[in-house]
Each structure stands twice: as structure tokens, then as C-alpha cells.
Amino acid sequence: MSHPTVFGTHDDKTLAQLTDVASRAERVALMADGHLGYVMPIGGVAAYRNKASVVGVGFDIACGNAAIRTDRRVEEFTGRQWTNIADEIARSIAFGVGRTNKQDDAPVDHPLFASDAWQLLTPSVSGALKQKARAQLGTVGSGNHYVDVFTDETGVVWVGVHFGSRGFGHTIASGFLALSQNKPWGERVKESEALLDLADPLGHDYWHLMNLAGEYAYAGREYVARKVVGILGGTEQELIHNHHNFAWKETHGGEELIVVRKGATPAFPGQKGFVGGSMGDNSVILEGSPADSDAQRGAMYSTVHGAGRVMSRTQAAGKFKGWGAKRHLVSPGVISQEMLDDWLRPTGVILRGGGLDEAPQAYRRLPDVLAAQGDTVKVLHTLKPIVVVMAGANEVDPYKD
């Protein structure tokens, strides 16, 4: 059993989950924003010898963040213009499952659709999945996925987005999880550990399709972020982009390993990352420390991917039944709309969408979790949110996590 490297403080259930992962992995670590997940804790990092964990990577394969530094400055916009920009983003970017973009210009002919990896699926599965992937490319989803506009400490305007591979990645993860349990593709099965050896046909195919989902997520995030830069009337000066639900081939301690990060951002020395706070908090651009310390090596050059939840969505917003007009509250949560409004009012954040399950009170504070990571990372820019756009509380989206 490998000895875990743990940043921050965590509840017993999360630590027990990490210990279970450690019983199978060569190395494990837990970031300071960690909390309980399916089989592997969110914020967890695990390294294996030539094996990838399907539930470790998760159902939202290649969920991640992209940030673009623009040539616009915050003082160039009035309060009314920021309100109009928030409305335009909400109109122009599709949240949830279906694409509702005002201009249907998503890159549906991206080279990823011609990849040989599609041939690893049966023709009927490949055809339907490719159709789904094209239909959802450039949609943001719901849950904690967002499109934000920020200003940094110098007044420069940034755009940040957070989402993954949508229904495409969910289908790949679900399909291989079923196959790992000797069930047919498409059958829903229990979330249990599935370590696939890349030397075996099943592991080989999963690896290539997982990487295809990674290309898909990159294409979607860059499309959305650049569309918002266009709404701002700006040009792209710098792009910072990274997955935080993925697996990579990396060398650690002189050995090539498969490193699975589930809600953890790669942070090798000098590598930049965009890490978001909650809808009412600052976000950051950071980089891995150049020191290359023991703590960095213990973290497998990883850091937090966000602030980290302190309560579940149901605890925060309450339990609901039904959707749309039939959606009704069964039992209330601990966060009210008044509490959310009271938090956001002093910040001046212009919010479109967003439910009580994503209220700032449901999260840790990002400065606290970054402090717990010690000197493994260096904050380069602090990003204050101006506009936050998320799916509405009633948005139907099975791929939100």
C-alpha cells in the first residue's frame, strides 16, 4: 500500500476512500479541496503501472478549465454594458443539453471527428455517439459549470470557462464501466473500481477514446471562451488550458506511470493553470513552483481544481422532484435565496442562472485551500468576477457532473 500525501484537512469518509485507492495504486495524493466522490475522492491523484481507472477519470472525462487574457480593460466598460454583456453571453452560449446558440457556429467539423479512435467502437455506437458529440459541442452544461468574465489586479479583463466532454465523455465512461463488469455497452452498472490494463484490448480502446474525449473538451472550451472574447470586442492575448478529470502518462521517481487526476490540476514547475472559486469569490491563475520540492513530488505535481464543496447539492438547495413547471421542493436545504443574494450583493457580481446548490456557502474559500497547498504553487493573477453565467436551477442536464 502506498503512503498518501494529503494537503489540508478532510473528513473521515474522504480519507477512508483515499486509503482504499492507495491499496491498489503505486502512489496517491489528496489536494486541499478534496471531498467524497465515487470510489476515488474528488481532489485525488493516483498513479498506476500501465493501468487507468475508469471511475478515477470519472464520467465527465476531461472536465477542466480554460482562461483567456484579453486586450480589454475593465474601465472601458460601464455598468450597463456589463449587464448587457451578461445577457448576451446567456443568449449566445448554450447551457444544458441542447444547443441553443444564437449563431450555430460550433466547430462540428473539427479534425477530432475524423480520428481513427472512432473505429474502436461498433459502427452503430460510433454513428450515434458522433451525432451526439456534434450536437453538444460547445454546450456548457449545468451544475458547477460556468462562463465567467473577470478583471485581474491590473484591470485586465479575462474570460474563464469550466466544463468537460459532455454526453460524449459520459457515454465513453459508462460504456467501458459496463464492459469491465462483463455487461453490454449501454447497460447502467454500479460505480465500482475498474482498472484497465493498457496492454489489454479493453484498456487500449478506453485510453484512446478517453484521449479523444480530451480533444473534444479542449475544442468545446476554446470555442466558448473565444466566443465570449468576441462578445467583449477583444482579442486573445494568452490561453491557459488544462483538464482536471483525466489520466496522463508521466514519469515520477524515474518510472513511467499512469497518473489519474480526479478534480486535481496538473502543476509541474512553471506550468500555468486556471483555478476557479465559487460564483461569489475570486479565482486565480497559478503555476507550479519552480522549486521542485518534496511536497510537489508527493503531490505528483498536482494542485487544487477549485475551492471544494463543504456540502452536497441536496444539503445546500434541498430535495426536489420533477422538472420544469412540475419541479417542486420536497425538503428545504440549508441555503436560501436570501442568503445567496446577501453574499453576492457586496461583490457586485452580475449573475445569470445558478442555483442554490452552487451558492458560495456550499464551498470552501479558495485562498484557504491554496494556503494548504503550501509553496507547491505560486499565484500569478487574482481574478475578480464581474459576470458569472451558469445554467438555471431548473435546467435539465444528465451530464452536469
Rg of the chain over Cα atoms, rounded to whole angstroms, equals: 20
Question: Nearest to residue 300, comparing CAs of 332, 271, 342?
Answer: 271
Question: Nearest to residue 381, comparing CAs of 283, 307, 308, 304?
Answer: 283
Q: What are phi and psi of 3, to 5 degrees?
A: -90, 120
CA distance 236 to 342: 34
Cβ atoms of 290 and 270 within 8 Å: the answer is yes
Residue 75, H or E segment: none
Question: Nearest to residue 27, comparing CAs of 267, 193, 255?
Answer: 255
Q: Which domains does the chain have, with CATH numbers?
A: 5-389 (3.90.1860.10)
Cβ atoms of 314 and 333 within 8 Å: the answer is yes
CA distance 258 to 49: 6
Q: Which pairing describes strands 27-35 and 5-6: parallel, antiparallel, or unpaired?
A: parallel
Q: What is the pTM for the complete model shown?
A: 0.94
Residue pLDDT tens, the chain, 401 long: 568 999 999 999 999 999 999 999 999 999 999 999 999 999 999 999 999 999 999 999 999 999 999 999 999 999 999 999 999 999 999 887 666 665 578 899 999 999 999 999 999 999 999 999 998 999 998 888 999 999 999 999 999 999 999 999 999 999 999 999 999 999 999 999 999 999 999 999 999 999 999 999 999 999 999 999 999 999 999 999 999 999 999 999 999 999 999 999 999 999 999 999 988 899 999 999 999 999 999 999 999 999 998 888 889 988 877 766 666 777 888 999 999 999 999 999 999 998 898 898 999 999 999 999 999 999 999 999 999 999 876 665 555 44
CB atoms within 10 A of CB 228: 24
